[in-house]
Amino acid sequence: MPRNDQVTRQWHVLQRLEASKRGLTLDELLAALPSDLAKHPRTIRRDLEALEAAHFPLLSERVEGFVRWRLLDGFRNLPALGLSPTELMALTFTRHLLLPLEGTEIKAALDSALQKAMARIPPPAMELVRQLEQSFSVGLGPHKRYREHRLTIDLLTKAITRARTVQMRYFSASRNAASRREVDPYRLRYVVGGLYLIGYCHWRKDVRMFAVERIKALTLTDHPYQMPLHFDLEAYVENALVVMQGKQIEVELLFDKMTAAWAKDRVWHASQQTKRLKDGRLRMTLTVADTRELVGWVLSFGSGVRVVQPDSLRIAVEGEAKKIVGHR
């Protein structure tokens, strides 16, 4: 079985050949490959031979004194879909991303589309897919399952596309009680393992986010609605660190050297700015909603982070930490 770097390199070689009508020389293939892959003419020649052995229709021909490699024209783009084999191969990986939505109409539609796409992938390309799947996988982390909420999701999708108000019975975790709501549904948003409905709540007279799994009953009405022209959905979701909404505050954090090495490579929020200090520590600033969610996120770094400002967040984090260890 080819090693991971071999499979990855062969994937890139195949992509480059698909993009070239007249073919590529060994030197041109070498120049087109990512810098972190092994680059030697003998290595690339072995990759080409391996692709040929896997029955990829490769042609080599001498043009103006140079040997050029290319794929057969009928293989470069599959007429029925207008996609190249590697584009179709890449699509097959996406099915892992929507596993939490297993059993819903959205996931069923994706599975159906992927089955049709995979049926168009030539056998040698499917073998490369199987090899790539052994070197690339998707870890979803903690997530919710939505099979039992299929009808809710399908009805919400219909309400959003038709711009119709819904009536629902919603269980609030913070109040530990259910209430009846009338909501203008704007969008379904999947974030950090959970699916949420963003919509205008007539009871609260404000835009709110509702966890789909806590919608206990749902009815689609005939009442049309129109999203306010001044409302910016993207700006609304960017206000939250993850999901919760609240008053925006300026936050400054200081990570120790060990934690900085991990924190600096992640985008936690669109507003974040980072600066690596001479002693190895990391200073991070961001503008986010002041919520319990923010407090929990800061606590997730343990002793590796210090809240520089604001004082209100520092006090909230300190108070929550004392509760965790049993101090009142």
The three state secondary structure string of 42-92 is HHHHHHHHHHHHCCCCEEEEEECCEEEEEECHHHHCECCCCECHHHHHHHH
Is there a contact between 118 and 92 (Cβ–Cβ < 8 Å)?
A: yes
CATH of the domain at 171: 2.30.30
Calpha distance 179→154 (Å, rounded): 22
Domain termination residue (choose one: 100, 118, 140): 140
| Residues 210 and 197: beta-carbon distance below 8 Å | yes
In a domain, 297, yes or no: yes
The label of the residue with tokens 């959970």 reads 194
Q: Establish if 242 belongs to a structural domain.
A: no
Closest CA to 54 of 46, 62, 66: 46
DSSP string, 141-191: -S----GGGHHHHHHHHHHHHHTEEEEEEEEETTTTEEEEEEEEEEEEEEE
CB distance 101 to 146 below 8 Å: yes
Same-domain pairing of 105 and 13: yes
CA distance 135 to 131: 7
Domain count, the chain: 3
The H or E element spanning position 279 is none
pLDDT band at residue 189, thresholds of 50, 70 and 90? confident
Domain C-terminal end among 140, 170, 187: 140
Measured CA to CA, the distance from residue 122 to residue 127 in angstroms comes to 9
Cβ–Cβ < 8 Å for 255, 281:
yes
- Residue matched to tokens 């800061």: 298
C-alpha 56/C-alpha 73 separation (Å) is 12
pLDDT digits (tens, 9 = 90+) for 223-240: 999 988 888 888 888 777
Inform me whether the pLDDT recorded for 285 exceeds 90: yes
Q: Which of 14-18, 164-168, 319-323 has the lowest mean pLDDT?
A: 14-18
- 71 neighbors 58 (Cβ within 8 angstroms): yes
pTM over 0.75: no
Domain assignment of residue 100, given as a range: 1-140
CA 246 to CA 54: how far, in whole Å?
Answer: 56
User: Same structural domain for residues 75 and 189?
Assistant: no
43 contacts: CB under 8 Å, gap ≥ 6: 9
Same domain? For 152 and 132 the reply is no
Report d(CA 263, CA 285) in Å as an integer: 12
The answer for 211, left when phi > 0, alpha when psi is -120 to 50, beta otherwise, is beta
Give residue for tokens 């599959």.
78
Average pLDDT (246-251) is: 89
54-71 b/e (C-beta count within 10 Å ≥ 16 → b): bebebeeeeeeeeebbbb
Q: Are 154 and 122 in the same domain?
A: no
**Same domain flag for 136 and 152:** no
Q: Render pLDDT for 141-158 as a digit per residue (tens, 0 to 9).
A: 667 777 788 889 989 988
Helix 105-119 and helix 85-93, axial crossing angle in degrees, nearest 10: 150
pLDDT of residue 88: 63
> Average pLDDT for residues 9-26, to the nearest whole number?
80
pLDDT in the model for residue 45: 85
On whether residue 243 sits in a domain, the answer given is no
| Between residues 18 and 248, the one the model is more confident about | 248
DSSP run (H or E) holding 32? helix 26-32
Question: What's the CA gap between 267 and 252, in Å, rounded?
Answer: 15
Q: Are residues 164 and 270 in the same domain?
A: no
Radius of gyration over every alpha carbon of the chain, rounded to an integer in angstroms? 26
**224 and 118 part of one domain:** no
- Tell whether omega for the bond before 310 is within 30 degrees of 0, i.e. cis: yes
Among residues 237, 260, 282, the one where a domain terminates is 237
User: Domain of 75: which CATH number?
Assistant: 1.10.10
Same domain, 212 and 256: no
In a domain, 55, yes or no: yes
Q: What is the mean pLDDT of residues 70-94?
A: 62
